[in-house]
Structure 1
Amino acid sequence: MDNHPIKILLVEDNPGDVLLLEETLSDIAHFRLELSHAERLSQALHRLEAETFDVILLDLLLPDSEGLETFLQIYDRAPLTPIVVLTGMADETLALRAMQAGAQDYLVKGRTSSSDLLMRSIRYAIERKRNEAALYQREQEFRTLTENAPDIIARFDRNLRHLYVNPAVEAVTGLSVRDFLGKTNRELGMPEALVKQWEEALEQVFETGEQVSIQFEFPTSSGLKYYQSRCVPEFALNGSVESVLAITRDLTEQKQLESQLLRAQRMESLGTLASGIAHDMNNILTPILAIAPLLPLSLPPLNEQSRQLLNILEENAKRGADLVKQILTFSRGLEGERAPIQVKHLLGELEQVMHSTFPKSITIVCNIATEDLWLVSADATQLHQVFMNCCVNARDAMPQGGTLTISAENRAIDEIYARMNLNAKVGPYVVITFTDTGTGISAEHIDRIFEPFFTTKAWGEGTGLGLSTAMGIIKNYGGFISVNSEVDKGTQLQVFLPAIEGIETPVPEKQNRSLGRGELILVVDDEENIRETLKITLEIQNYRVLTANDGIEAIAAYAQHRNDIEVVLIDMMMPLMGGAEAIRALQQFNPQVKIIACSGVAVSDSFLKTTGVKAFLAKPFTASDLLNALHGAIAAE
């Protein structure tokens, strides 16, 4: 106990019992006591409204109330205050019922003459109540933390059944929390391989008392996700493992970053290997190409068959040399004769070649966004090779016909875009886009299309060097290539080339049109760097900004500020709740909500139409793209 007096409320109508308790309490010398007295239940309730007490000594038989109802009314008024019931010798059953209802202790009248007994009862009552309050507080803190945590948190008993699971599991599995309680993963119908992995991990924790970590894949509505679970033992008082707490975290983004790093390392290794092979091949082919033309001069007159054989030898050596040149272009980018080039002239020539050589079943559309297309510094032959390769790949992806659209535009890449694309740098670019309606590229192949010798074409129909060579050329110019594709929907390949500085065709000024007027924008993205970058950009442009890192936070923010939020800018790929689900939920609040969707992967036109999204921004996008989209969404009815 501390130095403050222990405040006691005595609720007793018998003057003799009151006097006895007062005398007994006065004999307690080690504690400062402050006693208040109430004769009726109504008086006690009034006192409890006015002040708080450390303990209540309560007689259950009062002039205006009798029995358990007396306790219940006091308990309802002061649930956090410990209550010690005072009872006669014949009413111990009633006192026990009161303890079952929440009383901390009971004392039999006539047996309270011992000050030690009375004080011990008071102290124990206070301590037990404090312990209960502390336990309740810890439970509330646990629930607050777990139920709002982005990680999935679950507790398992020794039969591997779910004792607890937090709401984060619902967005991943589509099942409710109630579906999990009391059931095992097997009873929930989880995949057999996953069930076995979990059973082995949980059983190991119960047997050894040591934590276990596992990683697994799980199919969700937004695609295959990767998770890591840490299973931690929870011990009983006897030292045995009573339950296991499992914390499961989404590792999909981390896996993607690891995949990008491994891909970059693989490309670097392949480049080093290819460079070495090319060097040796050049040493082999050089003497062949040098000697082949000399043989007819140094040998007696050759017959027709011998001359044909020599021609075949020379032609194949030249083909080998061209192949080596492609390998070197991929591995380190061969320098061509650079000069200022107007890309639209190259595209015009390319269009003529395609019209005369491509099947008539393929419609070719060439669209130059501006007459004042910026210049680039490059080798015309190499650029023609890159563009032609892109067109040939598009042709091969449309064996039954389709449409190939080629466009070119000026684009000023800013810090937002550069942060979202590691290959990009701030500055002006000319962007050439090739879009086909062909078969598309599967997710398992799209990460490998720039690798040398990798091809999805049939044996003998491709070397696998076309796109790798194109990538080598464009990287050598300080540019980059991006690809978006969807199986059976088509592929979009964009070539970014740095524009020459000092061009007299500035970007059309749209600053005044894009400036905000204090509109509130809700930005939803699970990438913190992107959220903060967009927030700063929009605030500079006179917008107000709210941010959320997933769909659940977005719904909460919109519910609170629905009358103020003008536009919601939302990423389509997020943990817990994806963009599509969040959009549907937001439209439940307000069917007229203005939404701009953004994503690093292609989104179909049908999705935009069916969801009522005002605009779509393909990541990475520039600040100009963002501001124009916002202006259009705000102006839209």
Structure 2
Amino acid sequence: RLPQRIEPGIESWYNRIHPEDKERVTTGIHNAIDSGEKEWCDEYRFFRKDGSSAYVLDRGYIIHDDEGSPVRMIGGMTDQSERKRNEDKLREQAALLDKAQDAIIVRDLGHKILYWNRSAERLYGWASGEAVGQSEKELIYKDTNEYHTAMETTLTRGEWTGEMEHRNRDNLELIVESRWTLVRNEKDEPDSILTINTDLTARKKLEQQFLRAQRLESIGTLAGGIAHDLNNVLAPIMMSIGILKLNETDEKRLRLLSSIESSAQRGADMVNQVLSFARGVEGCRVSMNPMYVVRDIQKIINDTFPKNIGFKLTAPKDLWLVNADPTQIQQVLMNLCVNARDAMEGGGELTLSLENAVLDEVYSGMNPDSNPGPYVVITVEDTGTGIPRELRERIFDPFFTTKEVGKGTGLGLATGLLIVKAHNGFINLYSEVGKGSRFNVYLPATATPESAAKVAREQTQLPQGNDELILIADDEEGIRIVTEKTLERFGYRVLVARNGAEAVALYAQHGKEVAAVLLDMAMPVMDGPATIIALKAMNPKVRIIGSSGQASSGGVAKAVGAGVNHFVPKPYTAETLLTTLRKLLDPPDES
């Protein structure tokens, strides 16, 4: 009820309706009457007698005569001003919560999500509309035991704080600092739980790296202290074996001495490996053709690997030179080949290939370990068991091994990565469970003037755009910036989106102009496959290039199922991107 009486009559009522609401209210009433409705209802602003404005809920019941014609309307209005103010306040607070850097979630006592802010969307990858209504416990928690423990503590004490392991939409592990607060209703009964989660994943990784560095420093100190004594123990053994072999003619004893010599040498190599890893890699570097090292590895593989493992070697005749330590490079490649052998217990195919490659600014912008310039790429590929996704980030960690006790130290890949980085190179891994793994070792190369000139000519012949408009959708800012500059440099116009939802919105505005969409498969809010479906719904003929850093990503398979046939693997070069783009935009000549 309004606090003051108003004059009776429809004119008095009409004059008190807020000018901005009059047309909508009167149109609504006329529509209800004309369509034969029995009642009408609306909310609008209404002026009180003192001139102040109220927000009212007005209900009217339409009275009809015996012939069914409307003759009058009776009803009443309720002052909703307080509710409206509360709703506006809640909206303002929700807007502030959306601007918070932390993920803020509200759920009821049955675990159902009631509120999910923008930072929660960014952290976990689900949009608010997808998360609200779902069970928080099943959606983001890896360990439900710690969830129930925190729940019991919150219900008992009113709050709980601690670290938890969560998972995002891509099932990747997140570490968060979680703060739970019990919210009570007006009857002081437990009603819901407010959770504020701070992402600690990056910080935890830095802490792990710091602790690892401290551990390695300790290992270095320990190894340095004992290396001298160990070498003093091994040196006379190895020298004595050489003398004994000179005076020995019995074949059985010679084989025994060779076995002892091999074991002693292995012990010395193990000491040097630990020292190399803990203290850093030095060595004698020379300008060399990597084929010299690879030929030695080929001989070892042919002589010692099981016969059910086939071996293939490919390399160009004009392979560039690298400035490297041959022994260290052999150690890196031999370790990769041995790992490949161990992954193919039932047999398979091992391929060792070498090629010249020039990395451009686009590729190096996506891969912080690389620099633009010439490289020799050495690829070790197998058809073995593959490496599960959850292990790929850990296989280069020191002392991490999946082999049985006594069969691996966990230092092979870690030392290999250290050696390659010391040569200003890097390693890329692509793997798919059940299909095999591929390690690409990139070593900076010394290109001859002739080959450098050839590459320069090839780069100037990269396909140019014709002022087409390209829509880029990628959640990585560095990739967006580099790709945008590259496309603009080669004659394209560019629109940029940070996620699938923004890409769909931009396409809705500029779809008639957009010639193609470059779409990342793994993005928050709306991922690549979902974006493809939305874009295809707007335009079934939309041309899309998919991009992904995971060769075995499920998103790629979904994209193929949705009709996307062009892909560029991350990190990609300008040549790969521009060539793929022209293939998409320029249909083949049917003639």
Kept in 1: contact 2:160–2:179 (CA 8 A):
yes
Kept in 1: contact 2:16–2:46 (CA 8 A):
no
Q: What are the equivalent positions in structure 2 for 1:300-311 lying under 5 Å apart?
A: none
- Please state whether the residue corresponding to 1:470 is helix, strand or coil: helix
- Please state whether the residue corresponding to 1:494 is helix, strand or coil: strand
Aligned-residue offset at 1:437: 1.2
Q: Is it true that 1:396 corresponds to 2:342 in the alignment? A: yes
**Aligned counterparts of 2:218 and 2:430: Cα–Cα separation in 1:** 25
Kept in 1: contact 2:6–2:49 (CA 8 A):
no
Aligned-residue offset at 1:532: 2.9
- 1:477 is aligned to 423
Amino acid at match of 2:10: L
Aligned-residue offset at 1:497: 0.6
- 1:108 is aligned to none
Q: What are the equivalent positions in structure 2 for 1:217-232 lying under 5 Å apart?
A: 217-218=166-167, 220=169, 222-232=171-181
Say if 1:381 and 1:236 are closer, same or farther in 2 by CA, change over 3 A: closer
**Aligned counterparts of 1:271 and 1:236: Cα–Cα separation in 2:** 60
Q: Is it true that 1:321 corresponds to 2:286 in the alignment? A: no
Q: What are the equivalent positions in structure 2 for 1:95-114 lying under 5 Å apart?
A: 101-103=77-79
Q: Deviations over 1:108-143 (max 9, x none)?
A: xxxxxxxxxxxxxxxxxxxxx5x6654443333445
- Please state whether the residue corresponding to 1:193 is helix, strand or coil: helix
Which of 295, 308, 316 is matched with 1:361 structurally?
Answer: 308
Aligned-residue offset at 1:493: 0.6
- 1:3 is aligned to none
- 1:22 is aligned to none
**Aligned counterparts of 2:7 and 2:332: Cα–Cα separation in 1:** 98
Kept in 1: contact 2:166–2:173 (CA 8 A):
yes
Say if 1:332 and 1:471 are closer, same or farther in 2 by CA, change over 3 A: farther
**Aligned counterparts of 1:393 and 1:541: Cα–Cα separation in 2:** 42
**Aligned counterparts of 1:398 and 1:346: Cα–Cα separation in 2:** 23
Kept in 2: contact 1:160–1:199 (CA 8 A):
no
**Aligned counterparts of 2:337 and 2:399: Cα–Cα separation in 1:** 19
- 1:571 is aligned to 520
- 1:179 is aligned to 133
**Aligned counterparts of 2:171 and 2:149: Cα–Cα separation in 1:** 23
Give the TM-score, by structure 2 length: 0.73
Say if 1:187 and 1:328 are closer, same or farther in 2 by CA, change over 3 A: closer
- Please state whether the residue corresponding to 2:46 is helix, strand or coil: coil
Aligned-residue offset at 1:567: 2.9
**Aligned counterparts of 1:188 and 1:290: Cα–Cα separation in 2:** 62
Q: What are the equivalent positions in structure 2 for 1:573-612 lying under 5 Å apart?
A: 573-603=522-552, 609-612=560-563
- Please state whether the residue corresponding to 2:462 is helix, strand or coil: helix
Kept in 2: contact 1:173–1:220 (CA 8 A):
no
- Please state whether the residue corresponding to 2:346 is helix, strand or coil: coil
**Aligned counterparts of 2:206 and 2:345: Cα–Cα separation in 1:** 35
Q: Which consecutive residues of structure 2, in runs of 5 or more, have no partner in the other structure?
A: 23-36, 52-58, 61-72
Which of 135, 142, 145 is matched with 1:193 structurally?
Answer: 145
Amino acid at match of 1:83: R
- 2:482 is aligned to 533
- Please state whether the residue corresponding to 2:45 is helix, strand or coil: coil
Kept in 2: contact 1:567–1:593 (CA 8 A):
yes
Aligned-residue offset at 1:634: 3.0
- Please state whether the residue corresponding to 2:133 is helix, strand or coil: helix
Aligned-residue offset at 1:412: 2.9
Amino acid at match of 1:429: Y
Q: Is it true that 1:493 corresponds to 2:462 in the alignment? A: no
CA RMSD of aligned residues (A): 5.0
Aligned-residue offset at 1:285: 2.0
- Please state whether the residue corresponding to 2:446 is helix, strand or coil: coil
- Please state whether the residue corresponding to 2:450 is helix, strand or coil: coil
**Aligned counterparts of 1:374 and 1:510: Cα–Cα separation in 2:** 18
Which of 482, 501, 526 is matched with 1:552 structurally?
Answer: 501
- Please state whether the residue corresponding to 2:271 is helix, strand or coil: helix
- 1:115 is aligned to none
Kept in 2: contact 1:374–1:499 (CA 8 A):
yes
Kept in 1: contact 2:154–2:160 (CA 8 A):
no
Amino acid at match of 1:199: M
Say if 1:200 and 1:326 are closer, same or farther in 2 by CA, change over 3 A: same
Say if 1:41 and 1:626 are closer, same or farther in 2 by CA, change over 3 A: same
Q: What are the equivalent positions in structure 2 for 1:375-524 lying under 5 Å apart?
A: 375-443=321-389, 445-450=391-396, 454-462=400-408, 464-500=410-446, 503-506=449-452, 507=455, 508-524=457-473
**Aligned counterparts of 1:355 and 1:310: Cα–Cα separation in 2:** 25
Q: Is it true that 1:41 corresponds to 2:10 in the alignment? A: yes
Aligned-residue offset at 1:627: 3.0
Aligned-residue offset at 1:397: 1.4
- 1:81 is aligned to 46
Say if 1:211 and 1:346 are closer, same or farther in 2 by CA, change over 3 A: closer
Say if 1:197 and 1:532 are closer, same or farther in 2 by CA, change over 3 A: farther
**Aligned counterparts of 1:184 and 1:225: Cα–Cα separation in 2:** 15
**Aligned counterparts of 2:223 and 2:402: Cα–Cα separation in 1:** 20
Give the TM-score, by structure 1 length: 0.68
Kept in 2: contact 1:222–1:573 (CA 8 A):
no
**Aligned counterparts of 2:559 and 2:140: Cα–Cα separation in 1:** 35
Kept in 2: contact 1:418–1:425 (CA 8 A):
yes
**Aligned counterparts of 2:403 and 2:326: Cα–Cα separation in 1:** 28
Amino acid at match of 1:139: L
Amino acid at match of 1:82: F
Which of 334, 339, 345 is matched with 2:286 structurally?
Answer: 339
Larger radius of gyration, structure 1 or 2? 1
- 1:627 is aligned to 578
Amino acid at match of 1:388: M
Aligned-residue offset at 1:491: 0.9
Say if 1:271 and 1:521 are closer, same or farther in 2 by CA, change over 3 A: farther
Which of 161, 164, 170 is matched with 1:215 structurally?
Answer: 164
Say if 1:350 and 1:187 are closer, same or farther in 2 by CA, change over 3 A: closer
- 1:373 is aligned to 319
